[in-house]
Amino acid sequence: MDLPRYHRLRSAYYRLEGQRCASCDTLQFPARARCGSCGGNAFEDHRLSGRGTVYSYTEMTQAPAGFPPPYLMALVRLEEGVLLAAQLTDIDAHEVEIGMPVEMVTRRLREHGPRGFLVYGYKFRPLLGRRLVS
């Protein structure tokens, strides 16, 4: 990933910022040009709660360049209904179960070698205590 692309994505990566349709209140993440429900094109920024449950998961043992295996990937069903693909962290493969509650944390997604820049973004970990949005 190059720097300008990363910069463009930071509100989504750091804050799970999606959008709320101004006409029908549908939440979308990531943001789209058009509302998937009503076709509306006016939106306001909306930050997702970051809380959800594991919908499916896998342990990646063969990985693309830049992602040292093993690591866990999942589809997470957020409280708001959005189904999101993301890494799981702070958990071992044998501990993961479909349906387990998880919450968003900001972690390193990728390092471009010891001299390169760092990409930070959302991952999910087992729910640790009650959390509010900020």
Partner 1 sequence: MRDVFIIGAGQTPVGEHWDLGLRELGATAVRAALDDARVESVDALYVGNMLSGCVNGQENLATLLADAADLLPAEAWKIEAACASGGAAVRAAALAVAAGAHDVVVAVGIEKMTDAVTGSVSAGLASAADQDYEASHGFTFVGLSALMMRRYMHEHDRSRDEFAPFALTAHRNAAGNENAMFRKPISEEEYRESPAVASPIGVLDAAPICDGAAAVVVCTKEAIQSGQEPLRIAASAAATDTMALGARGDILELGSAAVSSSRCFEASGLGPSDMDLFEAHDAFTIITALSLEACGYAGRGEALRLAAKGCVAPGGCIPISTSGGLKARGHPVGASGTYQIVDAALQLRGRAGPNQLQKARRALTQSIGGHGSVAVTHIIEA
Partner 2 sequence: MRSREPVGIAGYGAYVPRYRASTASISATWRPAGAAAAAVGEISVAGHDEDVVTMAIEAARTAVDRSAVDPATIGAVWVGTESKPYAVKPSATLVAEALGITPGVVAADMEFACKAGSEAMQAAVAFVGAGMVDATLAIGMDTAQSKPGDALEYTAGCGGAAFLFTPAEASLATVEASVSHVTDTADFFRREGASYPEHGGRFTGEPSYFEHTLAASRRLLAELGAEPGDFAHAVFHQPVPKFVLRAATALGFSHEQIGAGLLAPRMGNAYAGSSLLGLAAVFDVAKPGDRIFFCSYGSGAGSDAFSFRVTDRITARRQGPAVTDYLDRRREIVDYGHYLRLRGKIRRA
CA pair distance 118, 91, nearest whole angstrom: 22
CB atoms inside a 10 Å sphere around CB 125? 15
C-beta of 36 vs 116, nearer to partner 1: 36
Query: Which helix (H) or strand (E) is 45 found in, with range?
Result: strand 43-47
DSSP 95: G
Interacting residue ranges for partner 2, rule: CB under 8 A = 10-11, 14-15, 17, 47, 68, 87, 89-90, 92, 105-109, 113-114, 118, 120, 123, 128-134
CB of 70 to partner 2, least distance (A): 11
CA pair distance 71, 69, nearest whole angstrom: 5
- 118 scored as a contact of partner 1 (CB under 8 A): no
Contact criterion met (CB below 8 Å) for 78 and 57: no
- 19 scored as a contact of partner 1 (CB under 8 A): no
Q: Please pick, from the candidates 11, 46, 47, 82, the single residue that binds partner 1 as defined by CB under 8 A.
A: 82
CB of 34 to partner 2, least distance (A): 25
Contact criterion met (CB below 8 Å) for 129 and 101: no
Per CB under 8 A, residues contacting partner 1 are 1, 5, 9, 12, 30, 36, 55-67, 71, 73-75, 82-87, 93, 98, 109-110, 119, 121
